[in-house]
Amino acid sequence: MATIFTKIINGEIPCYKIAEDDKYFAFLDINPVKKGHTLVIPKIEDDYIFNLDDDTLMGLTLFAKKVALAIESAMPCKRIGVAVMGMEVPHVHIHLVPMESEGDLNFAKQKLQLSSEEMDAIAEKIRKEM
Ligand code: AMP
């Protein structure tokens, strides 16, 4: 069965899309730890980043770099933090989080509640920097 992220790629589930190419896709995390928290995924399904073949992992990393630099330009932050967990969704994803301090990468804390208008506005802002 397709993962929830494959359904997002296929447009069966809505998302706040940031960028896409033939192999990779980026969209806002629906439960952000910070405004601009973005997920970058490969279009192929695998549940563990270190199962990816070298070319796919390299391509994913370079795609994430482009997205990270756009987030950094769009959102006030000191730098973009990177995390890979995959405890919830079994489809490889890299979290990109605009950080002010170390605590911003604490995924156990309460997530932000943002309206769809706010999420749309953030996605638009980041897309403009791509
Ligand atoms: P993890 O697998 O532990 O890295 O966490 C999965 C992440 O995916 C969480 O931060 C969720 O908020 C996020 N997530 C789950 N479903 C969606 C969705 N439909 N759209 C955007 N983000 C999602």
Which residue reads 């969704």 in tokens? Answer: 89
Cα-Cα end-to-end distance for the chain: 32
**Which atom of ligand 1 is found nearest the CA of 95?**
4
Ligand 1 centroid distance, CA of 120 (Å): 17
Q: Which residues are catalytic?
A: 93
Summarize pLDDT for 3-42 with one digit per residue, the tens.
999 999 999 999 999 999 999 999 999 999 999 999 999 9
Summarize pLDDT for 52-103 with one digit per residue, the tens.
999 999 999 999 999 999 999 999 999 999 999 999 999 999 999 999 999 9
Tell me the two tokens of residue 5: 């992220």
In whole angstroms, what is the distance from residue 100 CA to residue 58 CA? 27
- The domain spans of the chain are 4-129
Task: Say if residues 33 and 104 touch (Cβ distance below 8 Å).
Answer: yes
Q: Indicate which residue's Cα is closest to atom 13 of ligand 1.
A: 29
Task: Name the superfamily (CATH) of residues 4-129.
Answer: HIT-like (3.30.428.10)
